[in-house]
Amino acid sequence: MADQLFDNLLADAKEFFREKFGAAPTVLVAAPGRVNLIGEHTDYNGGYVFPMAIERYTIIAATPTDSDKATIWTKDCGKKMVPSAAGEFALRADVKPEEQPDWTSYVQGTISCCLRKGATLKSGFDAVIVSNVPLGGGLSSSASLEVSVATLIEELSGHKFEGSEKPLLCVDAEHEYARMPCGIMDQFISALGQKDCAMLLDCLTEKPEMVPMSDPTVSVLITNSNVKHALTGSEYPERRASCKAVAEALGRKLLREVSMDELLASKDKILAMENGETLFKRARHAVGEDVRTLKMKDALVAGDWATVGEQMRASHDSLRDDYEVSCSEIDALVEIARSIGPDGGAIGSRITGGGFGGCVVTLVKTDKADEIAEKMAREYKARVGKDATFFVTRPAQGARVL
Ligand code: ADP
Ligand code: MG
């Protein structure tokens, strides 16, 4: 299934290249999207996240030219009504970011950031981009685009980025050129993910640890609620500010440095602050989520599925009740998965991503995955009146040259 999907995408890339440039490409690279298994809203607190790469990729097909710029087509630029789009990209490190970013910003930003970090290109290139990571679906099509561009520049320039260099320069591109103040998770897992492994990423030290998830009888079911609630825009900065305020009240910079015991011992002090009740709940989520993430990692390695399921359950409840970033549609999906339960092959289920819609991640017994997905979609339709979309994946390989 996964191989077939990849082969189809690869064939698509080659065909699209031939259509646009009239020849076969000489370089092909791929970088995946991702899903976060646990560790939500922990990154900006310096905590832990636990993503894995998914069997959905962005592929770039390219050929060097003797031009001094890059001409790149994408099959999908994320705009409805625009079937495909082209851009011209300068091979310079000092290109000025656009005020109003669009898809070209991710590409130009990554090219410029690669050049800043020491890659040099002798000539330009022609390229096409195809992807089966849903754009804007919370599975990080943006990181898969940046990381695939960086991988292409490595291959064309012969300059290999070491360790965390590549994901970090992609983060720079997203911050500076796409103007998205994202964390480091998406780019790390897309660049450095390994097949049959999840990644425990410490957002304070920026050190990734590969965690084997090699049991093929367990898979990951990603269900998209296909709702995204309009936010005022203040929800995210508000929560960030709350976490910072509690950390500072306890004499620290980040909640990562606060233990649960310490937080509970300081409860009265926090409750006495303005909006104390809310501050305490927000901090309880952030501090508790780190504990759950580390527990889940150990349980996953041990194949202790009951403990894995428990951590996912507690994470969801905390995001719903303490952090207040869930919504009724997402809760419905999680409740349906819970009603199926471990006996029905649903090991654990939770919201994944920033919240207020988006996707649910459910760990499932591989042989029950389709049945569970269909039941979730059917009951979701009956309860919420909307169509959920889903797919099943094992932990996939990160960026690579094909
Ligand atoms: P997510 O990363 O969750 O999919 P984002 O809003 O962060 O959502 O990124 C989506 C944006 O990234 C798209 O609107 C588009 O600008 C850009 N993008 C992602 N994939 C592609 C692609 N294959 N071709 C062109 N642009 C892309
Ligand atoms: Mg993104």
- Over residues 168-195, the mean pLDDT reads 97
Q: What is the CATH number of the domain that holds 22?
A: 3.30.230.10
How crowded is residue 384: how many other Cβ atoms within 10 Å of its Cβ?
Answer: 18
Q: What is the CA radius of gyration of the chain?
A: 21
Distance CA 230, CA 218 (A): 34
Q: How far apart are CA 227 and CA 327, in angstroms?
A: 9
Per-residue pLDDT tens digits for 309-352: 999 999 999 999 999 999 999 999 999 999 999 999 999 999 99
Residue 199: its pLDDT value, please?
A: 98
Does the beta carbon of 31 lie inside 6 Å of ligand 1?
Answer: no
Q: Give the three-state DSSP class for 33.
A: strand
Q: Is residue 305 part of a domain?
A: no
Q: Identity (one letter) of the amino acid at 332? A: A
**Does 193 sit in the ligand 1 pocket, CB within 6 Å?**
no
**Ligand 1 centre from 146 Cα, in Å?**
9
Q: How far is the C-alpha of 274 from the C-alpha of 192, rounded, in Å?
A: 42
> Which ligand is located closest to the Cα atom of residue 79?
1
Cβ contacts of 17 within 8 Å, gap of 6 or more: 23, 24, 25, 61, 62, 63, 126, 127, 128
Whether residue 391 contacts residue 222, with contact meaning beta carbons closer than 8 Å, is answered with: yes
Is the CB of residue 380 below 6 angstroms from any atom belonging to ligand 1?
no
The residues, ordered by sequence, that sit 6+ positions from 341 with a Cβ below 8 Å of its Cβ are: none
Residue 360 pLDDT grade (very low, low, confident, very high; cuts 50, 70, 90):
very high
Atom of ligand 1 nearest to the CA of 103: 16
**CA gap 381, 155 in Å, rounded:** 46
**Residue 181 in contact with ligand 1 by CB distance below 6 A:** no
CB 334 within 8 A of CB 388: no
Q: What does the pLDDT read at residue 55?
A: 98
By the 8 A CB rule, do 372 and 329 touch? no
At how many degrees (to 10) do helices 276-302 and 305-321 cross? 160
245 has a pLDDT exceeding 90:
yes
Give one DSSP letter per residue of 243-291, joined into a string. Answer: HHHHHHHTT-SSGGG--HHHHHHTHHHHHTSTTHHHHHHHHHHHHHHHH
Torsion of CA 192, 195, 196, 197, to 10 degrees: 0
Q: How far is the CA of 144 from the centre of ligand 1 (A)?
A: 9
Instruction: Check pocket membership of 147 for ligand 1, CB cut-off 6 A.
Output: no
Percent of the chain scoring above 70 in pLDDT: 100
> Of the listed 126, 186, 290, 322, which one is catalytic?
186
**Assigned domain for 385 exists:** no
Average pLDDT, the chain: 97
163: containing domain = 2-212
Q: Is 68 a catalytic residue?
A: no
Cα angle vertex 311, ends 234, 236, to 5°? 5
Which of the listed residues 76, 111, 145 should we mutate to test ligand 1's pocket, taking the one with most ligand atoms within 8 A of CB?
145
The CA-atom distances, in angstroms, between 274 and each of 211, 253, 255 are: 41, 19, 18
Q: Using most ligand atoms within 8 A of CB, pick from 139, 142, 149, 356 the residue to mutate for ligand 1.
A: 142
Verify whether ligand 1 is closer than 6 Å to residue 140 (CB atom).
Answer: yes
Q: For the chain, what is the domain count?
A: 1
